[in-house]
Amino acid sequence: MNLSLLYLIDLFGTAIFAISGVLLAGRLRMDPFGVMVLATVTAIGGGTIRDLILGATPVFWVTDTAYMWIIIITSLATMMLVRHPKRLPWYVMPVCDAIGLAAFVGIGVEKALAFQDSYLVAVMMGVLTGCGGGIIRDVLAREIPMVLRSEVYATACIAGGSAHVLLVQWGLAHSHAMLAGVVVTLTIRLTAIRWHLSLPTFALNK
């Protein structure tokens, strides 16, 4: 995948994740500071934890402040313009979120491979990059994180990340392997959205 295109998709994903944080903060009637906090942790929380674990410091948004500007501008615009989010078609945000999620997973896997040799750790870092911010957002909002529910979300990340590292292991160029992994994650997530698929739940009999 072209690096400039991947960077633009990464910024797009950052904006989409920030919007999801703003919308949740709005439903909880938070003040503007709370809105910005929720938007920020959603957008860059997973990548920040990934970089700290890998020792990739300073973390990405410190060396490239475009990410922070995207979050600030997107959050302010959303607070001013999106007063009635229910007027949007139901699928718009989930589809945009899926695009950002797939890009985040691919970037997380590739960055992990650049810093260490374990393919298992690379997949874990991809999942963390894609899901970590949403987990922090939901915990702060006192909700059960999406990845702990029956949504086909983390599963899509694991599948895409696994495809990515397997193709690298088989000798495919990293850029092509990343593109394939992104496509796998996106396809699974969009399929789940389209047909409302979910995983079976675990419950103990009383």
Give percent of the chain above pLDDT 70. 95
pTM of the model: 0.93
Burial class from Cβ neighbours inside 10 Å (0-12, 13-18, 19+) for residue 53 reads middle
User: What CA–CA distance (Å, rounded) separates 79 from 59?
Assistant: 27
- pLDDT of amino acid 115: 96
- pLDDT of amino acid 5: 78
Q: What digits encode the pLDDT tens for the residues 97-127?
A: 898 899 999 999 999 999 999 999 999 999 9
**Would you tell me how many other CB atoms lie within 10 Å of the CB of residue 34?**
15
Cα 123 to its chain centre, rounded Å, is 14
Q: How far is the first Cα of the chain from the last one, in angstroms, to the nearest whole number?
A: 51
Which residues, given as ranges, of the chain have pLDDT below 70?
1-3, 83-86, 206
What DSSP string runs through 39-60? HHHHHHHHHHHHHHHHT--S-H
What token pair was written down for 188?
A: 């699974």
Is 203 strand, coil or helix? coil
- pLDDT of amino acid 150: 81
Burial class from Cβ neighbours inside 10 Å (0-12, 13-18, 19+) for residue 123 reads buried
Phi, psi of 198 (to 5 degrees): -145, 165
In the chain, % helix, strand, coil (3-state, to 5) comes to: 75, 0, 20
**DSSP-H helix ranges across 82-153:** 92-115, 119-140
- pLDDT of amino acid 93: 83
- pLDDT of amino acid 92: 82
- pLDDT of amino acid 194: 94
Burial class from Cβ neighbours inside 10 Å (0-12, 13-18, 19+) for residue 169 reads exposed
